């Protein structure tokens, strides 16, 4: 078989790349190791976790939120197998959707492990061991990422789980210890806390959500603590012993000091993810990787070997599905002779906790470090009418704008549906818009989004409702 | 599909231009690369060519408006080129009256390809700055609030030239005379010449030293070799090549003449870019012979004649006129006996050449007629001492009176 393009990996970066390439007339094939398409995101990441986040949120709402609104339902009862069924259905619908899109766009799919044997040659080894070699003009590596292991804490996906196992627990653990206060740890910790687990989060750094705006992280931590999550910051886990009853972790202060034992029924290791390039044959064909194992690319996604490109989690940048998707589109367009482009200054990031946390652009700390002078506009949801009506007054919107030009440099939102509200800031930033542009755009009343506009007004110290 | 017409890159240190005139009007059919309008900058006049074929749908920046590099000038609607000659530029009323089903009228093109954001519109309304004349830094060249604030700030910090000279209101002419006066707006080039010359006079401590040079040797050389020279090099052997060479040799001897003042520093330049003033019908331009120290007289002559032709045809590029370290101006071709040239700032000196005429001089104890020329060097006394200026001019004189010195690098 001979192709214009073979994409290795069918996660968001890979499948989107393949579809865009096919739209542009390239004869395209996808190689996928799993039995289903969609990669981590659709199978064991974004999509199933959102199914459980939503379901568990409804459970909590029924148990704690509805009474305050005058809706009596009694104590809700958890049907975990049913909830897991909802998750499985969601995943199936999505992965089948990708399979349909491949057919629709006449993309050949090859199920098996892909290995680059030479530029222009990809060998696919099916489960049974049968090997096929695909000939192609271009190869895009979109093999994504894998769970970062933690020394001394061996993942068995039963007692000591990764995000994958945490989506499959057959009963609610009495006590769940999450190692790592990043996005994945907080989201999955939230799921099981809502369903009844006692959750403690252990983090090496002295803050949660590293990389996010400090003020946002602090506020989020306060809100999570109010919900009952315990945090042990500045602590490292050095060992774990699992038995039939549970897990005993050895925890030390990060700065050094007395070790302590921490008991858990289930431990979730969520300290991050690492690029996945195992068995891909990179060394043999001479594709360079950096010190963190990421495939080295130039700004046109070219590796050092002509004809081999890479996008998504396997390359530099935030490990976000939508970042990978946009890179996949960009490289497909470039391969088709068009001008592909990703604006890395305007990529939103969302934490799907309750409340959600969403951000785009620079944090205050980044601006300070870069010596950029900026104005801050903030507006709390307590002053927003719709938020009060919805009993969703937790959180705030913060707009950071250049002091001289008023250009919006960053927007950070903590609040219900922050992940949906962030996009007006993304579009604004994509067009180099100013806080005033946002402030002068009419926002429907009554909406939570009015808080975004008020924060933009507050940049010029002229918020109306506070 | 509308294609935007934008102000091209104008070159370093040139940020704005004035629309000289439009060769086409809205509704005219245009071919790709056909000249659309003329832009006057501080240094050159350049033409903007059509980026695509079609119909000039709209002119955003009118004649006489000042526009920044990258600003929107107008738009071309593609694909309607064939249709226009048949149905020439529909007038507004016609377009209205025409049934909607007929071919879409190209003149009814979208107002502008790009809408302004609300903050930009607000600043435009309050300040009067036309966003179309501001270079946009946003997506697809959109003007951002920052761009507008920058444009407003530039306006505020650079008060209009008229404002600088207050009360220069011209006394009214007698009615009888007024009718016989003609008022013509200065071209941008003329305004720039005016401003720069006046700036140089105000900034520098400028004075002039004179000398005279016996041109016999150069003229004999010329008479002897001009045919052979032209045959070999395809350029005429003029005087300028000798003067440039003589000046470069003198600049090497007296480095301060090739230096400039930058704040509290002196910048000595170890390169010799010699500006040669050329008169054109629009005004004086000064193209630069770069690295003249490394060029032969033939190379210099060729470059100068090339520049002269380009200047007459209005084809000089901004790069051609940038970076000079010293200037030579030849008033002699118009018959000048003696003059005091004004510095070409930020340079520190300028050499004036004058007419050559037979004059009685004492030569080897006898009064004889010799072809003589007066030389003048105007210089900035802040950086060049009198002794240096005089030495510099004497060196030029010596090099010209005995061109062998140039050959021997004496």
Contact across the interface for B146 and A404, Cβ inside 8 Å: yes
pLDDT tens, A399-430?
Answer: 999 999 999 999 999 999 999 999 999 999 99
Provide the shortest C-alpha distance from residue B40 to chain A (in Å): 30
Record: fold of B2-113: OB fold (Dihydrolipoamide Acetyltransferase, E2P) (2.40.50)
Tens digit of pLDDT at every position of chain B (410 positions) = 678 888 887 765 677 788 888 888 888 888 888 888 888 877 677 788 888 888 888 888 888 888 887 888 888 887 544 433 333 333 434 433 333 333 333 333 333 456 788 899 889 888 888 888 888 888 878 899 999 998 888 877 765 444 444 445 677 778 788 778 888 877 777 777 788 888 888 889 999 999 999 999 999 999 999 899 999 988 888 899 999 999 999 999 999 999 999 888 889 999 999 999 887 776 778 899 999 999 999 999 999 989 988 888 878 887 888 889 999 999 898 899 999 999 988 899 999 999 999 999 999 999 999 999 999 999 999 999 999 999 999 999 999 999 999 888 87
- Out of B233, B313, B381, B409, which one is annotated catalytic? B381
Token pair for B244: 């440039």
Domain B190-408 has CATH 3.50.50.60: no
pLDDT number for residue B50? 86
Chain A residue nearest residue B148, CA to CA: A405
Contact across the interface for A433 and B144, Cβ inside 8 Å: yes
pLDDT greater than 70 at residue A40: yes
CB-closest option in A404, A407, A431 to B142: A431
- The CATH class, in words, for A160-271 is alpha beta
**SS3 category, B299:** helix
Contact across the interface for A434 and B145, Cβ inside 8 Å: yes
* Active site residue ranges of A: 445
pLDDT number for residue A388? 97
B359 Cβ contact partners less than 8 Å away, ≥ 6 residues apart: B369, B370, B372
Mean pLDDT of A39-46: 96
Beta strands in B54-168 (DSSP E): 54-59, 66-68, 72-77
Chain A hits for B138, Cβ within 8 Å: 431-433
Angstrom distances, CA of residue A362 to CA of A374, A381, B390: 11, 22, 61
Same fold, A160-271 and A346-459: no
Tell me the C-alpha distance between B65 and B86, whole Å: 32
Provide the shortest C-alpha distance from residue A410 to chain B (in Å): 16
Chain B hits for A437, Cβ within 8 Å: 117-120, 145
Question: Which candidate, B76, B27, B26, places its Cα nearest to that of B49?
Answer: B76
Tell me the C-alpha distance between A221 and A186, whole Å: 10
Provide the shortest C-alpha distance from residue B126 to chain A (in Å): 15
Chain B residue nearest residue A404, CA to CA: B146
Query: What DSSP state is assigned to residue B138?
Result: S
CATH superfamily, domain at A2-146+274-342 = FAD/NAD(P)-binding domain (3.50.50.60)
Contact across the interface for A406 and B145, Cβ inside 8 Å: yes
Provide the shortest C-alpha distance from residue A439 to chain B (in Å): 9
Contact criterion met (CB below 8 Å) for A409 and A367: yes
What are the boundaries of each domain within chain A? 2-146+274-342, 160-271, 346-459
CB-closest option in B118, B142, B150 to A432: B142
Token pair for A366: 């980044």
- How far is C-alpha B233 from the geometric centre of its chain's CA atoms? 28
Tell me the C-alpha distance between B222 and B215, whole Å: 11
**SS3 category, B386:** helix
pLDDT number for residue B13? 63
Contact across the interface for A407 and B145, Cβ inside 8 Å: yes
Question: Which candidate, B286, B291, B277, places its Cα nearest to that of B245?
Answer: B291
Tell me the C-alpha distance between A404 and A424, whole Å: 22
From A74-83, A304-313, B339-348, the region with the lowest mean pLDDT: B339-348
Handedness of CA A179, A181, A183, A188 (dihedral sign): positive
Residues of chain B with CATH 3.30.559.10: 190-408
**Residue reference for tokens 């305007």:** A346
- Out of B94, B385, B402, B409, which one is annotated catalytic? B385
Contact criterion met (CB below 8 Å) for B53 and B32: yes
- How far is C-alpha B70 from the geometric centre of its chain's CA atoms? 20
pLDDT greater than 60 at residue A310: yes
Determine the residue among B70, B117, B124 to mutate to test chain A binding: the one whose Cβ has the most chain A Cβ atoms within 10 Å. Answer: B117
Residue A427: count of CB within 10 angstroms of its CB: 12
Token pair for B330: 């030849």
The residues in B 130-159 lying below 8 A from A, measured between CB atoms, are: 137-139, 142, 144-146, 149-150
Contact across the interface for B138 and A431, Cβ inside 8 Å: yes
Residues of A annotated as binding site? 50, 114, 143-145, 180-187, 203, 272, 313, 319-322
pLDDT tens, A117-163?
Answer: 999 999 999 999 999 999 999 999 999 999 999 999 999 999 999 99
Q: Cβ-count burial of B173 within 10 angstroms (0-12 exposed, 13-18 middle, 19+ buried)?
A: exposed
Q: Cβ-count burial of A439 within 10 angstroms (0-12 exposed, 13-18 middle, 19+ buried)?
A: buried
Stated as kind and residue range, the H or E segment containing B30 is: strand B29-30
Contact across the interface for A432 and B138, Cβ inside 8 Å: yes
Chain B residue nearest residue A435, CA to CA: B119
pLDDT tens, A198-241?
Answer: 999 999 999 999 999 999 999 999 999 999 999 999 999 999 99
Provide the shortest C-alpha distance from residue A466 to chain B (in Å): 23
Q: Per the omega criterion (within 30 degrees of 0), is the bond before B400 cis? A: no
Q: Cβ-count burial of B294 within 10 angstroms (0-12 exposed, 13-18 middle, 19+ buried)?
A: exposed
A343 Cβ contact partners less than 8 Å away, ≥ 6 residues apart: A430
Chain A residue nearest residue B146, CA to CA: A405
The residues in B 204-223 lying below 8 A from A, measured between CB atoms, are: none
Chain A residue nearest residue B119, CA to CA: A437
**Residue reference for tokens 């050389």:** B221
Chain A residue nearest residue B118, CA to CA: A437
Determine the residue among A401, A428, A432 to mutate to test chain B binding: the one whose Cβ has the most chain B Cβ atoms within 10 Å. Answer: A432
Residues of chain B with CATH 2.40.50.100: 2-113
Provide the shortest C-alpha distance from residue B346 to chain A (in Å): 32
Handedness of CA B18, B22, B27, B31 (dihedral sign): negative
Contact across the interface for B146 and A433, Cβ inside 8 Å: no
Chain B hits for A406, Cβ within 8 Å: 119, 145-146, 149
B93 Cβ contact partners less than 8 Å away, ≥ 6 residues apart: none
pLDDT number for residue B257? 95
Record: fold of A346-459: Enolase-like; domain 1 (3.30.390)
Contact across the interface for A406 and B146, Cβ inside 8 Å: yes
């Amino acid at each position: 078989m001979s192709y214009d393009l073979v994409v290795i990996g069918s996660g968001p970066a890979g499948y989107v790349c393949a579809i865009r390439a096919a739209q542009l007339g390239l004869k395209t094939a996808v190689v996928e190791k799993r039995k289903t398409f969609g990669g981590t995101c659709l199978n064991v990441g974004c999509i199933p976790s959102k199914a459980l986040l939503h379901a568990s949120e409804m459970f909590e709402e029924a148990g704690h939120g509805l009474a305050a609104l005058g809706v009596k339902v009694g104590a809700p009862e958890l049907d975990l197998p049913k909830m897991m069924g909802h998750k499985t259905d969601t995943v199936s619908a999505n992965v089948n959707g990708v399979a349909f899109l491949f057919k629709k766009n006449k993309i050949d799919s090859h199920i098996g492990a892909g290995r680059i044997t030479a530029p222009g040659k990809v060998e696919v080894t099916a489960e049974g061991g049968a090997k096929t070699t695909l000939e192609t003009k271009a190869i895009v590596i979109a093999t994504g990422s894998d769970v970062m292991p933690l020394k001394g804490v061996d993942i068995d996906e039963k007692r000591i789980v990764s995000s994958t196992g945490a989506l499959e627990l057959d009963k609610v653990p009495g006590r769940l210890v999450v190692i790592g206060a990043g996005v994945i740890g907080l989201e999955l910790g939230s799921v099981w806390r809502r369903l009844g687990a006692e959750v403690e989060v252990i983090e090496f750094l002295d803050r949660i959500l590293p990389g996010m705006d400090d003020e946002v992280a602090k506020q989020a931590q306060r809100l999570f603590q109010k919900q009952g999550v315990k945090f042990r910051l500045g602590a490292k886990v050095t060992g774990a012993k699992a038995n039939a009853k549970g897990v005993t972790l050895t925890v030390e202060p990060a700065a050094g000091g007395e070790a302590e034992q921490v008991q858990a029924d289930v431990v979730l290791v969520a300290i991050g993810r690492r690029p996945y390039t195992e068995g891909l044959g990179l060394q043999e064909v001479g594709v360079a990787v950096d010190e963190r194992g990421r495939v080295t690319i130039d700004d046109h996604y070219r590796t050092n070997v002509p004809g081999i490109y890479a996008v998504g989690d396997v390359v530099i940048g935030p490990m976000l599905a939508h970042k990978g998707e946009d890179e996949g589109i960009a490289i497909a367009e470039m391969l088709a002779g068009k001008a592909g482009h990703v604006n890395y200054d305007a990529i939103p990031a969302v934490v799907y906790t309750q409340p959600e946390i969403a951000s785009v652009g620079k944090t205050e700390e980044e601006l300070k470090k870069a010596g950029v002078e900026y104005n801050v506009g903030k507006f709390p949801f307590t002053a927003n009418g719709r938020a009060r009506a919805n009993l969703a007054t937790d959180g705030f919107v913060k707009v950071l704008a250049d002091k001289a030009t008023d250009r919006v440099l960053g927007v950070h939102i903590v609040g219900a549906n922050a992940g949906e509200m962030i996009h007006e800031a993304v579009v604004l930033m994509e067009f180099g818009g100013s806080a005033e542009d946002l402030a002068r755009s009419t926002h429907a009343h009554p909406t939570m989004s009015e808080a975004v506009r008020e924060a933009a007004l507050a940049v010029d110290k002229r918020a109306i409702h506070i | 599909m509308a294609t935007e017409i934008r102000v091209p890159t104008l070159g370093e240190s040139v940020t704005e231009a004035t629309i000289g005139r439009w060769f086409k009007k809205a509704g005219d059919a245009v071919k790709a690369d056909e000249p659309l309008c003329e832009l006057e900058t501080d240094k050159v006049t350049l033409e903007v060519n059509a980026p695509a074929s079609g119909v000039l749908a709209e002119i955003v920046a009118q004649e006489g408006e000042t526009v920044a590099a990258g600003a929107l000038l107008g738009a071309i609607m593609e694909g309607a080129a064939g249709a226009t000659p048949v149905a020439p530029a529909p007038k507004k009323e016609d377009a209205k009256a025409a049934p909607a089903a007929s071919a879409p009228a190209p003149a009814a093109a979208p107002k502008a390809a790009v809408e302004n954001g609300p903050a930009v519109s607000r600043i435009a309304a309050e300040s009067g700055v036309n966003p179309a004349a501001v270079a946009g830094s946003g997506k697809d060249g959109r003007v951002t609030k920052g761009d507008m604030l920058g444009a407003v700030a530039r306006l505020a910090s650079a008060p209009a030239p008229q404002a600088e000279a207050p009360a220069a209101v011209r006394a009214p002419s007698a009615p009888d005379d007024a009718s016989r006066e003609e008022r013509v707006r200065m071209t941008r080039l003329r305004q720039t010449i005016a401003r720069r010359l006046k700036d140089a006079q105000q900034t520098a401590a400028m004075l002039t030293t004179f000398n005279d040079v016996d041109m016999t040797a150069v003229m004999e050389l010329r008479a002897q070799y001009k045919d052979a020279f032209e045959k070999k090099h395809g350029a005429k052997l003029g005087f300028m090549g000798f003067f440039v060479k003589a000046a470069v040799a003198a600049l090497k001897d007296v480095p301060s003449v090739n230096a400039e003042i930058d704040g509290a520093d002196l910048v000595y330049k170890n390169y010799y870019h010699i500006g040669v003033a050329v008169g054109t019908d629009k005004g004086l331009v000064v193209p630069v012979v770069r690295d003249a120290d490394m060029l032969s007289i033939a190379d210099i002559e060729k470059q100068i004649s090339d520049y002269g032709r380009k200047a007459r045809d209005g084809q000089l590029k901004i790069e051609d006129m940038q970076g000079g370290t010293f200037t030579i101006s030849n008033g002699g071709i118009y018959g000048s006996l003696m003059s005091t040239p004004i510095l070409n700032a930020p340079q520190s000196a300028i050499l004036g050449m004058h007419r050559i005429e037979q004059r009685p001089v004492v030569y080897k104890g006898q009064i004889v007629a010799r072809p003589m020329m007066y030389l003048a060097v105007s210089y900035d006394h802040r950086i060049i001492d009198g002794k240096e200026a005089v030495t510099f001019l004497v060196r030029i004189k010596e090099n010209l009176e005995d061109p062998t010195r140039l050959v021997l690098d004496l």
